[in-house]
Amino acid sequence: MRTRRSSTNHTRNGSRIIALQAVIGAFATFVVVLAPPASGETLLIPFTPAAANRLPRLATSDGSVLVARGPIAGSLIVRGSGLRAARHLIALGVLPIAASAIGCGDVA
């Protein structure tokens, strides 16, 4: 009887490990696909009204060039060095993602 409980617990733990690996794999894929490019077009999505008001100035503060309005209200597409400013933008309430990941590439 004890053997059955032990094997049931082992099976549950194995299933949990597989589920955890699937979640980690999905998250890694999500990050790789949406990460802003080192250079190229980046979609900037503001998450607060303050970030939306500052976005045009923030978007060009590192020398990036405004390309177009993004497909999401208040968002902008810029061309430049996306990775350099990504952490700074996130801290200010702006999510930078690869524009090509959602069909925004080569709009200009």
Selection from 65, 100, 57, 101 nearest residue 81 by Cα: 65
pLDDT digit string, tens, across residues 26-67:
877 777 666 777 777 888 999 999 999 999 988 888 788 899
Q: What is the pLDDT of residue 61?
A: 82
* Cα–Cα distance measured from residue 84 to residue 58, given in angstroms and rounded to the nearest whole number: 13
- Please tell me the pTM assigned to this model: 0.65
Q: 73 with 51: CB under 8 angstroms?
A: no
- Structure-model confidence comparison of residues 80 and 76, the more confident one: 76
